[in-house]
Amino acid sequence: MDPNQKPVTNPYQLGQVLLIDKPLGWSSFQVVNKIRWLIKQEYGIKKIKVGHAGTLDPLASGLLIICTGKETKNIHVYQAQEKEYTGTITLGATTPSYDLETEIDNRFPISELTEENLIQTTNQFTGDIMQKPPIYSAIKKDGKRLYELARAGETTEIKEREVNVQAFELTQIKLPKVDFRIACSKGTYIRSMAHDYGKALNNGGHLSALRRTAIGNYRVENAISLEEFEADFKNI
């Protein structure tokens, strides 16, 4: 060992994988910052690498994989794994952000929507499909996030990208709301699926609830809350 190199003093520097159930209202970045601060306070250190393996919007809850220390080099491995989500699409209305971040901009009658049509239309969204990310997304263009451009009222052309959807099933139909379960590849925007699903029904739709339930073999049932981590994170 290099005599000038400081020894690793805690398991988080060696590398840990934490399963956190992200609460509503928190950004993924805020969760990472909170965990980094707690570790630094507990061990009296000035620096610790902490990162997450896949962003969840503030309006979404569920599984967030947090990597610390040397394990951060494996973040890309977790990011590449299949994701599973549950949530709710509200039909009969669209929003610019495809979710509840922005106000409804168009309304549509839902009287002609049938359960059979709702179920059959999900078949258009399985397998390899093309989709456009929402204009309110963290994708960068010319050095700026798309949501920054959108909030400034600027319009920009977004290219379609191919994603893979292993499953899209409706778990409850109670119009105007339909509950769903989706299993999909990295890079899939569930907000875009909600918007495109409404469009495929010759109607409109937006995402009104979202929860990530799994990343690969990691499930939210095995995750802990931020409060639990703060209370006993040394034992994780």
Out of 57, 105, 142, 196, pick the active-site residue.
57
Q: In Å, how far from its chain's centre is CA 125?
A: 18
63, 214 Cβ separation under 8 angstroms: yes
Nearest to 97 by CA among 189, 35, 12: 189
In angstroms, the CA 196 to CA 204 distance is 8
Helix (H, G, I), strand (E, B) or coil at 222: helix
Residue with tokens 């000038």: 4
Q: Specify whether 142 is catalytic.
A: no
In angstroms, the CA 48 to CA 68 distance is 7
Alpha helices in 122-233 (DSSP H): 146-151, 190-200, 226-232
Q: Supply the DSSP string of 77-131, one letter for each residue.
A: HHHTS-EEEEEEEEESEE-TTSSTTS---EE---TT--HHHHHHHGGGGSEEEEE
In angstroms, the CA 236 to CA 90 distance is 38
Show the tokens assigned to 168.
């899209």
Q: Which residues form the catalytic set?
A: 57
